[in-house]
Amino acid sequence: QVELAESGGGSVQTGGSLRLSCVASGYKYSSKSCMGWFRQGSGKERERVATVDGDGITTYADSVKGRFTISRDKAKKTLYLQMDSLQPEDTDMYFCAADGYTECFAPTLFAHEYPYWGQGTQVTVSS
């Protein structure tokens, strides 16, 4: 089992920044697992924002490239998402996800590949 707890969401104006955090725990958590950030709006499918694999290789959705940065602190068991130059279209509920494998060294891009999810944190960007 992997338990994930997100924090750091909030309301900002266009152009502002937020940093989301996701603390992982549980006996199946591994510092070499694949993890990711996804977002979902009302009535929309959950979409990938950014992922990181066991080697630290990252992927980003085209809509956030150059503005968002995913990182992980293995000692703190924490995944981060630094979000800069926020736009109103970034308004969504943001979720942290983990695959639960001991090692993961291939991009894990799709929501259905992640069995473990946090409760989500709301990000609202006003114009």
pLDDT single digits (tens) 2-20: 999 999 999 999 999 999 9
Token code pair at residue 126: 């006003």
Residue 97 — pLDDT band, cuts 50, 70, 90?
A: very high
pLDDT single digits (tens) 16-37: 999 999 999 987 788 899 999 9
Contact 1, 26 (CB under 8 A): yes
C-alpha count within 13 angstroms, C-beta hemisphere, residue 65: 6
Contact 6, 94 (CB under 8 A): yes
* Angstrom distances, CA of residue 68 to CA of 3, 47, 64, 84: 24, 15, 6, 6
